[in-house]
Amino acid sequence: MKNPVHPRHLTLVQSLGPGIITGAADDDPSGIATYAQAGAQFRLNMLWTVVLTFPLMVAIQSVAARIGRVTGKGLAANIKGVFPAWVLIVLVLGVVVANVINIGADLSAMAEATRLILPEPVAHFYVIAFALLSLGLEVLLPYKSYVRILKWLTLALLAYVAVAFAVKVPWTQVAIRTVLPQLSIDKDSITMVVAIFGTTISPYLFFWQSSQEVEEIEAHDDEEPLQKHPDEAPEQLHRIRLDTVMGMLFSNAVAFFIILSTAVTLGVHGMTEIKSAAQAATALRPIAGDFAFSLFALGIIGTGLLALPVLAGSAAYAVAEALGWKSGLARKFKEAVGFYSVMTLATIVGVGLDFTAIDPFEALVGAAVVNGVVAPLIMVAAMLVAQKKSVMGEFTVGRLQGFFGWAATAVMGVAAIALIVVSV
């Protein structure tokens, strides 16, 4: 057995893992389109949303990670052990449907962004190429190597920070509007706030981060669930907090800069209708120049390559755990056929959406509705699991984490109700 390297002895970079990948994957091409629309339509007046969601994201994602690390089982497996089968079916089905739509939309956005830079040899070439590349890496690469690639891909998001510094920004106004936004309480503003909340606090992230903690346990011979090795709890829970805080801070900072950069460029010039991330990149070119355009377009491709495995993987984790199948990227294909089959099928169906007449933007609206309704339900289930001693033993969530976890759940519940009201 290897000598364990305790998290307190790790550098900051070494401590980052499931949390940083989860946070970065949250800013997928679909999310970029939402944030770009927020900046273009409402300018600086939507910056407050990503500030508000930061502590809520940290709370609920750290709860999901804690469940995985303590029990050695993913979120779906734990929900299965606590709730009736119909509850699990509804939650898993909602996540799978929304993820497949998001996969299709992200592939379409990545292909559109690539076409802005390179000619397409044949129709749908880039959609199929990106899907095959993502699946190939997921299935063929060893888990540790694949995770390293995902960590490097998170750097693609820095493109959106660079865009903000490539254009003129009224920083005093940014500070004022972040704290004191000028908004009318109408259908458009409510819909945008709900869309940002739904994009930022997404159900697939809960399943991914919880299951990635399980993967980390299984990938290291010297690690066990905290229920079996409670002496490791202080170090591991500290690592989870650090990893999650840094991951969600990174995610929300990038979202902040996307809203900011589109607000001071597209919004100022009256370009208020953005229906895709690639459209935002194109619109930036005559206003902010080729450099900003290139950064925005390349960022779409990089973040898409990061988001695809997280979307497909979280769907596969949810289904496999619900059905009691062996799962995990650390396993070879023949050891987890069902898991990899779900991942493959989700990607194939996502590719198939590009061959239909379904408008990617309208599909994303549908996915947002599903996510918006399912998210608070999953969050309720996760919080109840995390506070159940028969599941978590001595590692149930504390009062502070519980407060913020339930606060996040309440906010998403209100957002879901608002979404339904404005949609009727």
Residues with pLDDT less than 70, the chain:
1-18, 143-144, 151, 156, 275-278, 284, 287-288, 360-362, 364-366, 368-369, 423-424
Contact present, 147 and 17 (Cβ < 8 Å) = yes
- Angle, vertex CA 362, rays to CA 34 and CA 301, nearest 5: 50
Q: How much is the pLDDT for 374?
A: 83
| Integer CA distances (angstroms), 41 to 46, 229, 270, 335, 365, in order | 9, 51, 8, 49, 17
Q: Which domains does the chain have, with CATH numbers?
A: 15-423 (1.20.1740.10)
Q: How much is the pLDDT for 3?
A: 45
pLDDT tens digits, one per residue of 205-229: 899 889 888 888 877 777 788 778 7
| Integer CA distances (angstroms), 421 to 37, 146, 218, in order | 21, 42, 44
Looking up tokens 């309440």 gives 410
